[in-house]
Amino acid sequence: MATRYYTVGWEQLHRDAKALAWRLMEKGPFKGVVAITRGGLMPAAIIARELECRVIETVSVITYDEETRGEPRVAKPPSAAGDGTGWLLVDDLVDTGTTAKVVRAMLPGAHFATIYAKPAGKPLVDSFVTEVSQDTWILFPWDTEPQFIPPLAKGAAAK
């Protein structure tokens, strides 16, 4: 299965995070937001603003090195969130569920929300906005720079 790339710009990320905040309005109020770093930082900031939540905690689980997956390692636990009860846990994406499983075990009482969800990880989150295929690699705005990309038809013609 070939990897597909889907580029998300800042404006789309903001719209999608705000759409997630709309879905979360009825689930709150929350004691605080726990951002899964690093990808969950920007969505968590947008969502915390929209929900008027001023308490933000982080949890750092290292799983990826660019496109290479490794064994998850907790670099920083979310100490202020206890078992997560009453807290909102936010990430940009749930992919295979590797990170989600680790964080769910630390914060079983939290409401887990992601902007994007792939089929393998989708059952681990409580709320999400958009489902993408398992073979899609999302290029977030903090990982990319604007540049020319040939039309899809030109890439297909080369095969």
Single-letter code of the amino acid located at 139: L
Task: Look at residue 68 in the predicted model and tell me its pLDDT.
Answer: 64
Residue among 89, 88, 95, 91 nearest 131 (CA):
95
Single-letter code of the amino acid located at 113: A
Instruction: Assign domain 4-145 to a CATH class.
Output: alpha beta
Using the 8-state DSSP alphabet, how is residue 77 labeled? -
Listed by start position, the domains of the chain span 4-145
Q: Which residues are catalytic?
A: 91-92, 95
Residue 67 has pLDDT above 80, yes or no: no
Task: Look at residue 31 in the predicted model and tell me its pLDDT.
Answer: 97
pLDDT in tens, 74-119: 999 999 999 999 999 999 999 999 999 999 999 999 999 999 999 9
- The H-or-E segment that residue 22 falls in is helix 10-24
Measure Cα distances from 51 to 31, 77, 94, 101, 138 in Å. 11, 23, 22, 25, 26
pTM of structure: 0.86
Task: Look at residue 63 in the predicted model and tell me its pLDDT.
Answer: 80
Strands 111-117 and 87-94 come out as parallel
